[in-house]
Amino acid sequence: MNRTQSIVLVRWMMDREIALCRMLNRVSRPPKIKKLFILISILGDGKAWYVLMLSLPFLYGDAGMVTSWNMVRVGVVNLALYKIIKGLAGRPRPCAVSVDITLGTAPLDQYSFPSGHTMHAVAFSMIATAHHGELAWLLAAFTSLIALSRVILGLHYPTDVVAGGVIGGSVASTLLAS
């Protein structure tokens, strides 16, 4: 594949991705649905994870303390990676690229790649469920809703969310393997 073909392919993929963003963003037009995804996004911004980390020692004793400590560790690594990658990538958010995409809530920063909400949600869920499998059904659903909220609210492209999930999952897997 030559350079021109590569550029055409990338443009074609970007056009499809922005079309998907527009379609999913339309889901948030009804006020009740928009409020639901804003709430999910706010909870995914750390609040739900902090409550979980504080609750685990009370629910599981020493095992819960170990899990919470591992969640803190993975969170610190993810935060560092998030800051570095965001600064290097500099990808504008979908709402900044397309006038058809409405911003559902204020972004935490200027750039979209990768989704930090998804990165942390996947990593925290993996750590928590590795130690307390009975939480898997709840955390998998919550993580999925967080990831979906990022695109629906016009904050991220689907590839931002996928990349965030892969990075968060890789960090969590590395910690769990050590």
3-state secondary structure string, 112-160? CCCCHHHHHHHHHHHHHHHHCHHHHHHHHHHHHHHHHHHHHCCCCCHHH
Please state the domain count of the chain: 1
Per-residue pLDDT tens digits for 23-65: 899 888 899 999 999 999 999 999 999 999 999 999 999 999 9
Identify the pLDDT of residue 149.
95
Domain CATH number, residue 126: 1.10.606.20
Per-residue pLDDT tens digits for 99-114: 888 888 888 888 999 9
Domain of residue 69 covers: 3-177
